[in-house]
Structure 1
């Protein structure tokens, strides 16, 4: 039997939220209720262990966040169907005029586990969704045929971030904003085992510790994928 204790826990948590963000000394929603102006969009995984707001120590209003299984960005397909991620991208870029889009992958992602073990999985939606990352799986099979399951998983997760960045550039209004220097694209990878946040360095085509990568970041301009 499922208990209602969780609701009580969340109620207490919400009261702490109110005391933090609605107190007279720090009522951040006095400004936010007039509208949002986030400085970045984050496409992250739905995994409960990987909350970008917590990982980046953000506050309300900082981030426009989309979360899905395996932090995937679908290709640009204006076909009249339902596209939640694409709709969020359009809103962020064309209406909020966001300056940064971050794709945040992570270690031990269940979505990529299901992709690598697709022959043994059943379900109505997950396999179809994860087929968006089939290029990542193919790259791992091509380059790491003899690697351990752990190495293959990690590589697949990282390739997933890179191919999502590629897909972002397929949206004409994203490419236009990048070309004009109004938008930067970033790839991140959270290694929960080490507690390290890695950044995709396009020049080296490698994921580096964020602190190290920041020291070598180019000045604002076109992102190179």
Structure 2
């Protein structure tokens, strides 16, 4: 119960010290609707805090989080697709101008690609979901120059971002808007230990410090 008490106390502090700064904007958004310009696709990892690490205010980003910040390829069926539904809503309804796929260091999903989950029935959905990281694993294993597993995991995390960006372009509306320069997609890599973010430079197929993005 101590954990829940801390959350309750946190909400009281938020209402008392922070909410007043955003009250007008939030009430306006109720009347006018939300108008974020960014869809942020991040990992569910508890150490990844999009609003904190980007110093955002309420309404700035439409945030989608899942295990591994994976983007399933587009599939034309009527099954339940939570990630796909969020992408469609952000693009076709909210008309976001940017999509950021943000991976991070020490990602449990990328590490799990190298573990044998087996046939544990309590992990069946995780096992299926991790298939979305297999291409990143395969690309990583083509490089045999790693001196230890941690180097391999860091490379897998970055390769996964590359792969998720490719998957984003399988969504017809995303692809159409990118080609018309109405939408930009970005790959970011967040280092949990330092707070630094690198961006993926597709032209050079490399990750660079985020502060260099506009240079």
Q: TM-score range by the shorter chain?
A: over 0.9
Q: How far, CA to CA, are the matches of 1:63 and 1:24 in structure 2?
A: 18
Shift of residue 159, structure 1, vs aligned partner: 0.7
Q: Check the 8 A contact 1:114/1:121 in 2, yes or no.
A: no
**Which residue of the partner structure matches residue 10 of structure 2?**
13
SS at 1:116's partner residue?
coil
Normalised TM-score (structure 2): 0.92
Equivalences for residues 1-225 of structure 1 within 5 A: 4-23=1-20, 27-34=24-31, 35-118=33-116, 122=120, 123-144=123-144, 146-215=146-215
Change (3 A) 1:212 1:24: closer
Pick which of 166-175 and 29-38 moved more.
Answer: 29-38
Q: Which runs of 5 or more residues in structure 2 are unaligned?
A: none
Distance 1:148 1:53, change over 3 A: same
Aligned to 1:223: none
The RMSD of aligned alpha carbons is 1.8
Unaligned residue ranges in structure 1 (runs of 5+): 216-225
Note if contact 1:98-1:183 (Cα within 8 Å) is conserved in structure 2. yes
Q: Deviations over 1:17-63 (max 9, x none)?
A: 22244427853322122210011000000000001111111111011
Question: What secondary structure does 2:57 align onto?
Answer: coil
Instruction: Measure the CA separation in 2 of the matches of 1:22 and 1:141.
Output: 48
Could you say what secondary structure the match of 2:131 adopts?
A: helix
Q: Secondary structure at the match of 1:103?
A: strand
Aligned residues: 212
For 1:29 and 1:214, the matched residues in 2 are separated by: 30
SS in 2 for 1:125: helix
Q: What displacement does 1:145 show?
A: 5.9
Which SS does the other structure have where 1:162 is aligned? helix
Structure with bigger helix share is: 2
Say if 2:106 and 2:153, in contact at 8 Å, map to a contact too: yes
Q: TM-score, normalised on structure 1?
A: 0.88
In the aligned structure 1, how far is the partner of 2:193 from the partner of 2:21? 39
Q: Deviations over 1:137-163 (max 9, x none)?
A: 000111236542011100101011110
CA distance in 1, matches of 2:144, 2:169: 27
* Kept in 1: contact 2:37–2:95 (CA 8 A): no
How far apart, CA to CA, are the structure 2 residues paired with 1:84 and 1:24? Answer: 32
Shift of 1:106: 0.2
